[in-house]
Structure 1
Amino acid sequence: MGGCRVLGQVWGGWRRGPGVRAAPTASSFGTEARHQQQRRGSSKRSGPLDDRPFSGLLRPENLSREELVDVLRAAVVDQKGPLVTLNKPQGLPVTGKPGELTLLSVLPELSQSLGLGERELQVVRASGKETSGLVLLSSCPQTASRLQKFFTHSQRARRPTGTYCAVTDGIPATSEGKIQAALKLEHIDGVNLVVPVKSPSRKDILEGVKRTLSYFRVVAMGSGCALVQLQPVTAFPSQLQAHMALQLCPLLGDHTYSARVATVLGQRFLLPAESTRPQRQVLDEALLSRLHLTPSQAAQLPLHLHLHCLYLPGARPRDPPIKLLAPLPSYFSRTLHCLGLHYQ
């Protein structure tokens, strides 16, 4: 663990970097949302934009194993000791069916490519297929076990270990707070979907319903959208997508849960989750114009959810935590430029 680069002392709340105004402390961030928003961020945009709105987007189905290994090797953001940190492209699954091209399936070749010899990498921490951002790998089973225990302990202690950046279609009603919801996985029309459960009973909990928790903080607003930092405390499939849909602010590029948010006469409301089928996200004309997208292009919009930083334990118990960072994908940065949202 001592070989990992220390990028700054962080814990619990939002870290304040050089030149950035003080953020809420851990205690204030973990409280219920109570601060009304003040308008931040400009809606102005300037300069020409690339005609390819999703340039650099990964299409795993079009890659050979060798090409994917090259992509992943170029995506390494840190390699120290047994730990390798990748900036995973959006659209790459971590696991899959036998024969499918996934991150897990090419780890032997990636290990060789990185000069690890017989010390094959294993996944310690990774997000789902549609999420971009940090993936933590280890070539040492003992280190991997220690880190997995750290993540499990942090979750039980209600202590976030990662921060996501997201763009929402809509602006949360408050500038910061927490989202609590009981969620379950339900097989609907051949698809596994996350469904919220109101007032779950003890029987519901025993049958797979989980009480979930995420913290959020609005960083900037503009053009009816928001740049939001998200810190999940619990781990559940599609938790952040489901949580933001419950806030009536689905994630941009969410073609699964955004359909649950409907608008009539300018007012948003939730549709029943059990009877609302996934569909391509529909954006209004004003937002399409701001993003320089046609409706057909918007139907291919990637999910704007990026695991931006991870917090790891120091080499010794008294050492400060380690912070690992991954830059935003090019399509994400393009969206921020179009909407006049500035990430600090």
Structure 2
Amino acid sequence: MTAINSCLRTYSMMKTIRSIKKMHVMYTFTRCVSTERKQPYYNLDVLHAPVFADRKELIHHIQKSVLYDDENILALNKPNGVPMKAVHDEGVPSMFDILEDLRECYDAPELEYMLGLSRNQSGIILLVKHALAKVKLKKSLQGQRSHGEINHEFICVCLGEPKFKPEVEKIRYLRKEINGRQQAVLVPHFHKSMKKAPLSSFNIQSEVLATSPLESSPKVSLVGITCDSGKKECLEMYMADHLSPILGDHVYSHRVVEVAGEQVKQDSAAAIRSPQIIPSEVKRTLKIGKHTHFVPLHLHKSGLILHRFPHKKSEPFMIESQLPGFFVDTMEKLQLLPNDENIDAYEEDEITDID
């Protein structure tokens, strides 16, 4: 796991964190990549894992996935594939199905979800333990956006070599029905006349952390993302717009097609939801075979910085989460490790800061 630890230490948010009052304890917020067990792709029982047969099994897993716990909030590491709310007649346990169990376990009768994730994403979700904490957390999150603080940390594996701007970008989008499904659609050009439209936006900064040495087309990259929002499917839309859909994205990946060896965008209305097209070399390396539709979304919320919580004068603090087993397995097999100079630059910077 040493190589993976070194890779994650180059995560771009390190520079941002250092600007927040020299918070030395946060230098290694994505080093927590250990996992209870590996989840190899050739075993279909765990490929889309963890898959929970019932509520008790999910509770047992969640109780071992607590990231932070105090008198105000509870942070959990949500697994991939677990919905926040139950889907009708699907029979899959959801996070809301175990809420009463969590209330009893933590002796918090007012416990409720405050910051969730979409079904296919894994990583940090937040619960508040009482009404006052809910009010304070809401003010904290709203204040962070108004201050332009990009405090949500994600890491993803994508098919492509995206080119990002070095500065923070403002992304505008709207949601509309496409092929019978609500999807996010980028609004690249903003006009004053659009102010009354149902537009949403988020600020984001991204960086390619590593590129796989495989000769696949397109290449495979490891990307670090920091943003001020984690709303449903926004990051999948964002990465597809950069011609680098996230591995395991079976919806937005079809907005990108290969023409004469080049990745190009196609009209979102023409992008039909279906299993993602994955390069044959990547499929062989990951031992996916024909079961492409089982590949989980490789998008993980690895960190969250809370500012001015629970009090206005409170110091910022970081909540961090481990990567899922399948994610670590993918990184190892695809050799998604940083260049030596990136590691050296990080270590040199770290020493300078400590001094």
TM-score, length of structure 1 as denominator length: 0.79
CA distance, structure 2, for counterparts of residue 330 and residue 96 of structure 1: 24
CA distance, structure 2, for counterparts of residue 263 and residue 56 of structure 1: 26
Matched, 1:304 2:304: no
Amino acid at match of 1:140: H
Query: In structure 2, what is the equivalent of residue 227 of structure 1?
Result: 222
Query: In structure 1, what is the equivalent of residue 111 of structure 2?
Result: 121
Question: What is the deviation of 1:120?
Answer: 3.3
Query: In structure 2, do the counterparts of structure 1 residues 20 and 272 end up closer, same or farther at CA, with 3 Å as the change threshold?
Result: closer
SS across alignment from 1:299: helix
- Range moving further from structure 2, 234-243 or 128-137: 234-243
* Contact kept in structure 1, 2:103 and 2:109, CA below 8 Å: yes
CA distance, structure 2, for counterparts of residue 315 and residue 197 of structure 1: 35
Q: How does 1:94-133 map to 2 (within 5 A)?
A: 94-96=84-86, 101-112=93-104, 114-116=105-107, 119-133=109-123
Unaligned runs of 5+ in 2: 1-5, 20-37, 344-355
Query: In structure 1, what is the equivalent of residue 330 of structure 2?
Result: 335
Question: What is the deviation of 1:186?
Answer: 1.1
Q: How does 1:1-344 map to 2 (within 5 A)?
A: 20=9, 25-26=15-16, 50=40, 51-52=42-43, 54=46, 57-60=49-52, 62-63=53-54, 65-96=55-86, 101-112=93-104, 114-116=105-107, 119-174=109-164, 176-222=166-212, 223=214, 224-234=219-229, 236-294=231-289, 296-313=290-307, 316-342=311-337
- Cα RMSD (Å): 3.0
CA distance, structure 1, for counterparts of residue 168 and residue 190 of structure 2: 19
Query: In structure 2, do the counterparts of structure 1 residues 218 and 177 end up closer, same or farther at CA, with 3 Å as the change threshold?
Result: farther
Query: In structure 2, do the counterparts of structure 1 residues 186 and 325 end up closer, same or farther at CA, with 3 Å as the change threshold?
Result: same
Query: In structure 2, do the counterparts of structure 1 residues 135 and 248 end up closer, same or farther at CA, with 3 Å as the change threshold?
Result: same
Question: What is the deviation of 1:260?
Answer: 0.6
CA distance, structure 1, for counterparts of residue 330 and residue 207 of structure 2: 19
* Contact kept in structure 2, 1:151 and 1:161, CA below 8 Å: no
Query: In structure 1, what is the equivalent of residue 35 of structure 2?
Result: none
* Contact kept in structure 1, 2:179 and 2:269, CA below 8 Å: no
CA distance, structure 1, for counterparts of residue 18 and residue 320 of structure 2: 24
Query: In structure 2, do the counterparts of structure 1 residues 201 and 28 end up closer, same or farther at CA, with 3 Å as the change threshold?
Result: farther
SS across alignment from 1:181: strand
Query: In structure 1, what is the equivalent of residue 353 of structure 2?
Result: none
Amino acid at match of 1:214: I
SS across alignment from 2:244: coil
Query: In structure 2, do the counterparts of structure 1 residues 69 and 290 end up closer, same or farther at CA, with 3 Å as the change threshold?
Result: same
Q: Structure 1, residues 3-54: CA drift from partner, whole Å, max 9, x if none?
A: xxxxxxxxxxxxxx9x95696744999xxxxxxxxxxxxxxxxxx9944374
Amino acid at match of 1:312: L
CA distance, structure 1, for counterparts of residue 293 and residue 177 of structure 2: 24
SS across alignment from 2:57: helix
Query: In structure 2, what is the equivalent of residue 5 of structure 1?
Result: none
Question: What is the deviation of 1:95?
Answer: 2.4
Amino acid at match of 1:107: L
Question: What is the deviation of 1:162?
Answer: 1.3
Question: What is the deviation of 1:258?
Answer: 0.3
CA distance, structure 2, for counterparts of residue 28 and residue 282 of structure 1: 39
- Range moving further from structure 2, 126-135 or 314-323: 314-323
Question: What is the deviation of 1:84?
Answer: 1.5
Q: Structure 1, residues 37-86: CA drift from partner, whole Å, max 9, x if none?
A: xxxxxxxxxxx9944374581335x32x3332222222222322232111
Q: How many residues align?
A: 304
* Contact kept in structure 2, 1:308 and 1:328, CA below 8 Å: yes
Amino acid at match of 1:242: M
TM-score, length of structure 2 as denominator length: 0.76
Q: Structure 1, residues 170-228: CA drift from partner, whole Å, max 9, x if none?
A: 11125855454331111123211112234244454423122443211221111321111
CA distance, structure 2, for counterparts of residue 175 and residue 158 of structure 1: 17
* Contact kept in structure 2, 1:214 and 1:240, CA below 8 Å: no
